[in-house]
A = this chain, B = another copy of it.
């Protein structure tokens, strides 16, 4: 039996570290956070979060800091490596062992795969991966699930298309690991050059019923969730490759004409041209609400790993 104490002191590095019972438990607790997000709480009073962002981010950093403050805790950290001792050549492990003395929980974003795991090993306090390299972004996957649950009432039995950059998109990888715990049909829609990483597919083999395709059109009318992702310029080793695929998809109102009226459109944001603003005022648009669910999920995770739930 899972209970809150199973999460105390635990690191959140990869979605594949969690089974369905644990994920469902976290999602439940996230729902319980909704009223606390409105009125605030003192649950984490006296506790300190350190946000160590070695890559730029508005959304994830502010979301974690807001979650901590909403629960009465405090936040310290940096938003870019230049202001830290990393600029003097310090190893990640040494930085973490230092911050370990100042904070009760560490949230890290880093351009390199594996960085969050290294941080978790160096720290005595719990470490939460807020995106490392192009591999994983587990709290994003949890908030994606929570948004699906809020909009659809369930995850099992849904038909979900994930569209865009499936190669470099770390949110996609974490989402796949998360969905592998549910009975879903997944359509992986991308240009050939941006097909999902083979190691990720292998990780979910036999657990997810999936189809790879380049064309989202034919899927549209039977789809429950359309998860759009940005082609991330900053992840392409060769800019010319980016130019070839950047305009591959444009999801707009016209395209969504043929969709089920209850189709939920999600996006981890920021978006570029792949998702038109003319979708914003349709009932399909769940991507800004998705951010709100991120707050709930992160409040739950912070309270859980700090043993205060």
Q: Would B98 and A291 count as touching, CB distance under 8 A?
A: yes
Question: Does the CB pair A69–B76 fall under 8 Å?
Answer: yes
With beta carbons under 8 angstroms apart, the residue of B80, B93, B288 that contacts A97 is B288
Instruction: Scan residues 36-52 of chain A and give those whose CB is less than 8 A from a CB of chain B.
Output: 39-41, 45-48, 50
Fill in one digit per residue for A68-92: 1 if any B CB lies within 8 Å of its CB, else 0: 0110101111111011111111110
Tell me whether A62 and B102 are in contact (CB under 8 A).
yes
Inter-chain contact B70/A101, CB cutoff 8 Å: no
Within 8 A of B (CB), among A92-113: 93-95, 97-103
CB distance from A290 to the nearest CB of B (A): 9
- Verify if A27 is at the interface (C-beta below 8 Å from B): no
Residues on B with C-beta less than 8 A from A77 are 62
Judge if A189 is at the interface, Cβ distance under 8 Å: no
Number of copies of this chain that the complex holds: 3
- Tell me whether A79 and B85 are in contact in the complex, defined as CB-CB below 8 angstroms, given that A50-B62, A102-B66 are known contacts: no
Docked-complex contact B83 and A79, CB < 8 angstroms: yes
Counting CB contacts under 8 A, is A177 at the interface?
Answer: no
Q: Is A85 touching B53 in the complex (CB atoms < 8 A)?
A: no
Task: Indicate whether A183 reaches chain B with its CB closer than 8 angstroms.
Answer: no
Q: Are A40 and B50 in contact (CB under 8 A)?
A: no
Q: How many residues of A contact B (CB 8 A)?
A: 61
Per-residue contact bits, chain A 290-302, to B (CB 8 Å; 1 contact, 0 not): 0110110000000
Q: Which residues does chain B contribute within 8 Å of A295, judged by CB atoms?
A: 101-102
Cβ of A234 within 8 Å of any chain B Cβ, yes or no, is yes
Q: How near does chain B come to A78, taking the closest CB pair, in angstroms?
A: 6
Contact of A84 among B40, B56, B76 (CB under 8 A): B56
Tell yes or no: A6 within 8 A of B by CB.
no
Partner of A85, one of B40, B57, B78, B95: B57
Chain B nearest Cβ from A225, distance in angstroms: 20
> Within residues 273 to 309 of chain A, which ones have a CB less than 8 A from any CB in chain B?
277, 288, 291-292, 294-295
22 sample A-B contacts, Cβ–Cβ < 8 Å, listed by A number = A56-B88, A58-B78, A58-B90, A58-B95, A62-B99, A62-B102, A66-B76, A75-B76, A79-B83, A80-B82, A88-B232, A88-B270, A89-B272, A90-B269, A90-B270, A90-B271, A91-B277, A93-B277, A94-B269, A94-B271, A98-B288, A101-B294
- Extra contacts, 15 of them, besides A56-B82, A85-B270 (Cβ < 8 A), are A56-B83, A57-B85, A59-B85, A62-B76, A62-B103, A65-B102, A75-B76, A85-B269, A88-B230, A88-B234, A88-B270, A89-B272, A101-B288, A101-B292, A102-B295
